[in-house]
Structure formats: structure tokens, C-alpha cells
Amino acid sequence: MQELPEDESGIAQWCRDVFVVKDALLDRHLATGTFGDQECQDIGRPKKSLMVVICWSCFLFFSAIKFFEWCPFSWGGVVFCAVFLVLVLVLMQILIVSSKSEKSTAPKVPPPNTLKENLLPA
């Protein structure tokens, strides 16, 4: 990263230059569908995520086996398991839908008092 200019006009010119380069790159991407001659960089897949999924899968599988060993296999046990799973499914769906960011409201920020800002020096 290059050094930023120290004066105000230099910073303004640097910002304009960076914007022009970014805008040209965006136009080239919209026209060709690529970002030019830049090669894709393989970032790999994190192994930690895979380990978390494997551990949770083993834990849930072991827990389910132990639960079914403890629970008698009768119609009552099957109905209990089915009702419990449906309740968990409905609860998870409600929580997922209610936590979507597009449905949330922005925090209320009071408008600034410009009269006070203009009259009182800092």
C-alpha cells in the first residue's frame, strides 16, 4: 500500500484516482464478466469447520442412539419423538425468520440539533 498524501488536495486527488480505477474495473467486469487478467486465488477450505461439523454429527448421532435405547419403541414413543421434532422445527423456523436482517428495524437516532451546532463554537 502506498503512502497517502498529507495535504488535503493530495488526499482528494488520491481518492479521485482510486475511484476512477475502481470504476474502470467495474465497467470491465460488467462488459466481460471477469476482473481482467487477475488469477483466482485458492483460499482453501478451513479444516476447523469440518471438524466442528464432524464432532456435532457424532455427538447428535450418539445422543439419538442412546435416546432410542432408553425410549421404548411403542406408538407412544414414536408419536412423542415426532411431536418433539415438529416443535423444534417450528421453533427454529420462527427464530430464523425473526432474526433476518432485512426484517429488522434500524435504531432510532434523534436528528442532530443543527441550530445548537451552528451557534455554539466547539
**Full-model pTM:** 0.37
**Residue 56 is assigned to a structural domain of this protein:** yes
Q: Answer with the residue of higher pLDDT: 42 or 9.
A: 9
Task: Verify that 60 and 88 share a domain, yes or no.
Answer: yes
pLDDT, tens digit (0-9, with 9 covering 90-100), for 54-103: 999 999 999 988 887 877 777 887 788 889 989 999 999 988 888 776 66
Residue 7: CA atoms inside 13 Å, Cβ hemisphere, count? 3
Task: Verify that 32 and 54 share a domain, yes or no.
Answer: no
Contact 4, 13 (CB under 8 A): no
Q: Answer with the residue of higher pLDDT: 47 or 45.
A: 47
Task: Verify that 61 and 86 share a domain, yes or no.
Answer: yes
Mean pLDDT rounded to a whole number for the chain: 80
Residue 83: domain span: 45-97
